[in-house]
Structure 1
Amino acid sequence: MRDILHLPVLSAALPELLAGEESLGVRVRWVHVSDSLGVAKLLDGGELLLSTGAGWSADDSLLTQFIEDLVRVGAAGLVLELTQGIDRAPLAVREACIRLGFPLVVLHKEVKFVAITEAVHSRIISDQTEALRARDALHDLFIGLSLRGSPADYIVAQLSRVLDAPVVLENINHQVVAVETLAAGDDILAGWELRSRSARREAAGACATTGATAGTGATGTAATVSAATDTGASAGWDIVPVEARGVRWGYLVALPGEPHPAGRLQVMEQAAVALALGRLADRDADEWTRRGHEQLLAGLLGGRYLTELGVTLRLEAAGLKVRDRMLLGLVLAVAPDGAAVAAALAAATAIGADAIAAAYPSANPTGRSAQLMVALSLPAEARFPDAAASAFAQAVGQALSLSSPSGAATPAAPVTPDIAIAVGGEAHDAASLLASLEEAAELLRRNSSAPRRGVEVHRVENRPLLRLVTALGSDPRLQAHSEQMLRPLIDHDLEFGSGLLAVLTAFAAHPGNRTKAATASHLSRSVFYQRIALIEDLLDVDLDDGETVSALHTALLARGSLR
């Protein structure tokens, strides 16, 4: 209605809005011309009625009933051309329109109704053509994404850009799988689960109130939470389920934004189809969970967040409670595939903890990491002793052995797997959780070459120097110390391939026990002693001096944390 009032053909007739300003956002589907007070029975809703008032009754009750009938059938508004017979809108008509919020416009200058009809219909058809073109383009976009196997987070990002509004993909438990916030920031995720559940109830209630049939609304095809049904933070949300073959995996939620020519819900439904096709193609039933956790933890480790509060909100929206909790970073020496992620999440649930799990980012040239990282959230007063860590690793290892496709018969008794788990320091916020994960990864890397028998638990509390170096790893002064102390050995290894750094690492790991150090270096004692003597000569140090060994150990740890 608002757009129609600004059409040149209508502006030339000097229009005056007498009522219904609050309803000018209503969409006009068609234009109808009639002077009959019984015209309502000929309308289907969405029509703009043009009239000269000729033949209108002077009975106020009939005029009031006329307006009430137009509102009842869903007419968009009434345009009354003032003529010599009617120089003003009847008072009963005006009062009824004001009371019902129904747009009433009078024209002070004569105009051909056919010109108005032509202009409005042309605009409607033009908008419909634009919508069809937009839908075709969107169909090509999202079907192309699904055919290329684009991940869920990329599809969500493209949908967000198309709608120019924040978009969230959540699973059926209202945990955020992927999100694109645009300029809105991570604050939109505050209290996400509660707000999402409330929005779903409001949308379902609105559908029930308006008499929607089964299969529509928040529990069916699509729904909008309008300000009329929700005065809270979820007003204006559009919600579309992601489902196929009778299986529902989650929902797409678009936060308030400008209208789209193809219709916001229709755009979202195209994106939901692309997501559903991707899920059908996934061999891993928990692909969404795995990818979502990978992005969260990779973003945390890579510092790809603006504020600590922002990353806290993202973690909590994904189901990991952060505030007022005891947090731990765990890293396990297992292949981080979908089965490992599922096993880790199940092990966390078994001890009453929240968790997110993913592959630890690796510099492995093959691009495949052999470490599974887990961010664990426990009640603030809880503890995670070695026995709990061992049980956690054993549960993951046994779950992986049972899910192995080897085809071997399931053993009568569970077999204790050969697996290592590293436990970082206790954390109580997102920043210290990051440190805990990095500590655990470095600790496991330091112990990755040793043969394993059963479950091995490594705790950063038992390696205070490693914890210090990990915390200061990006400090340029520590990097300079490492370079200064080790440069002669680095140059010698690069030129002759002598492996002196590895020998010194074994020596520092087993101070006072050269026999064990030689074994760890895979060298005979005589060769090991020769290499130690060469190291002392190149560095001009005495490796029997405790302070020197500590300084070299620190340099080695710093070099390892930077590689």
Structure 2
Amino acid sequence: MILTVASVLELEPFEGSGARVVTGEDHLSREVRWVHASELADIAQYLSGGELLLTAGTGLGWTEESQRRYIREIAAAGAAALVVEESGRIFDAVPKAAIDEASKVDLPLVALSREIPFAQVSAKVHEVLTQIRVHILTREREIEASFSELLIQGADHLGIARELAKVTGCSVVLENIVHQVMAYVGKSAAANHIVDNWAVHSRETHHDDDESCIRRTVTMRGQQWGWIHLLSDGGAPFGEIDRFAVERAAGTVAASLLTDRTKEARDDQRSTALITRLMLGDLTGAAFAERARQIGYRLSGDNVVVLVINNDGRAPGEGRPTLPYISAHLGDYTLVVIPEQALNSTEVRSALAEASAGGGISRPVKVDDISVALTQAQSAATVARSLANYPVLRFDELGVERILVALGQGPELANFVRDELGPILTWDASTANPLMPTLRAFLDCDGRKSDAAAKLFIQRRTLYNRLDRLSTLLRRSLDEPATRQRLLLAVKGLDLLESDPRSRFRH
């Protein structure tokens, strides 16, 4: 479920605008991820892909060269489409040079014969995007819960394949490492034909954007076991929900296969499923504690503490600490729920001492408040991963990082970092003499230039030159305490974003 250029042009704000597609009519199915209105000539540097760009035309410039360059740059930046007013404010008609260049780069170019409030377009598109995102998140939550419930019930890989087919409406094939079909749920004659000739399909090259099949690897005990395929059956293109479901199904199959082998693996997966449901909000703290008791973990009646141990890339069992408490290996980290009195046990202290990538510890809470403790421990672990020595931090040790971590869950922190440090990050990306180390040292020394020069092992004159360059790029004086405070927060935010494996932050 996506918002396309074509569907945006059908929204209410465009009614009566005289909108006409000048170029790129064959590309109106492009996804629109954002709307941006700008008259800047160099707006391309601020685009990250998927934007519907609205303009009165000022940024195009008055020469053919500037107009062609503008079109090339926004197309290269991944803009979904360009909408230009022809109302006479800047242009009576879109310049021919812009049209020619847009045709060359396959950029949808839309002309408006009458002015429309760009703010209304942005508001409406953002409203639709929010509705789509809420729908996707809700659906993902339902899918996550359904696969977790299958694990708790002990479903085998065939049951998991059936569930994937149910939630996506597509045919599903599960094959092992030697391309033997282990499970098949067909939805069409076309899928039956593919399976009848499976040796041909199974050796085809698959890509993430494949229109006919999504394939994901099933890994068990660090070894490739096989693959799970989602076949389109010639229907609608795959969407974000389909890809999410395949990812979860692959992981669930792997877990199911493991549970067929040892009780230890079965118990571990039940723990993971319970913790996953707790994180999704499908279980209250009390219900979680009761289910944990049923599989041998006593939590009710005591204060509990949540530990998050950052994983360092090793697979489960490769030197990771094993604790006799309910836990889950969740890719980037291992989450453990323990009774408060166990915090000083030998096993827990050893595990925390061996946490080579750091971790976080929540405050002690009642079982009803485990969800709060989850957030606290994850926040502390995120901050720990951003620090050079990878410590294990208690939530109460965090300062302003508590706010930054919370902001990092949405676009606010990334936008703040780009606004404050964008010019420096752009400079550093294109030069062999980066300025971020100088800025970090200067901020660490609270603006004391002699101390910063000593920390960097450079002469003060060299430091002054670098600071002058920084001031020029930032267009503000680094001597102002308020400026240094903002930059210090931005640097901390940058470290948090770059250290979080889940972050999509790009300079």
TM-score interval for Structure 1 and Structure 2 normalised by the shorter chain? 0.3 to 0.5
TM-score normalised according to structure 2 size: 0.48
Which is higher, the Rg of structure 1 or of structure 2? Answer: 1
